[in-house]
Structure 1
Amino acid sequence: MSVDRWNETQDAVKELVTLRNELVHHFLDHFDLWSEEGCVQAQQHLTDAYGRIDGHLNQLAAWAKDMERARQYAASVDASEAFGELMDSLFAQFDEVDWTQAGIVKDWKEAFDRLAVEGWAPLRGTVAR
């Protein structure tokens, strides 16, 4: 999702939360439901609110359909013979590595040895070189 689209989505969520709070907590403060004019205004406000909510719901439904299509595609790729062969060849490479001699493993062991107190080493902090 682009930054602009992300910002639009955040604004839309904020709008819905604000609308929800206004309808739940302040609706009766804004409309005189004891008069015909107040009821007409309240009804129009609810109709407008429904339209905004419906627009957001349609957007969410479209996102859900896109996500389902993506899920189905990913599942089809995962189930393919070619993907299985690719994963097998990638993982086969790891069998050839002597992990006890790998640079990152050596560095971790060295850092642990320098930082350990009674067999425990902190996960945060820096390692002095």
Structure 2
Amino acid sequence: MHDSQPQGITPDALPDVITRYLDAHRTHDTATAISAFHPDATVNDAGETHQGTSAIETWLTRSATEFTYTIELISAQEVDAQHYIATHHLEGNFPGGVVDLHYRFTLNCGLIEGLLIEP
């Protein structure tokens, strides 16, 4: 996918748009979270693809209410100027109860164009 090796960065070095999305997602502020996405953005989570901000808004709303969990940003990496990885540690009442997830962001024109969430 990318030839570049990801470089570890401090979480506060993530682009503002990613930080805005992550903070809004953590506090269940769907309107602010959606504002970080490009209108044609794609999110792939748990093997399901959500295309466009309307579908992403539905996914965010469902994920905020389906399970109760804590989420902690434990590391961040920069692949290149458009690609970043934020790794989160989640604990909650979802199947398995504990997981580290990699949020792989693709940016375009200062907005999130793609987000792949995977273990």
TM-score normalised by the shorter chain: which range applies? under 0.3
From the two aligned structures, give the one with the greater helix fraction.
1
Q: Which has the higher contact order (CA 8 A, sep 6+)?
A: 2
From the two aligned structures, give the one with the greater strand fraction.
2
Please, what TM-score do these two structures have when normalized by structure 1? 0.19
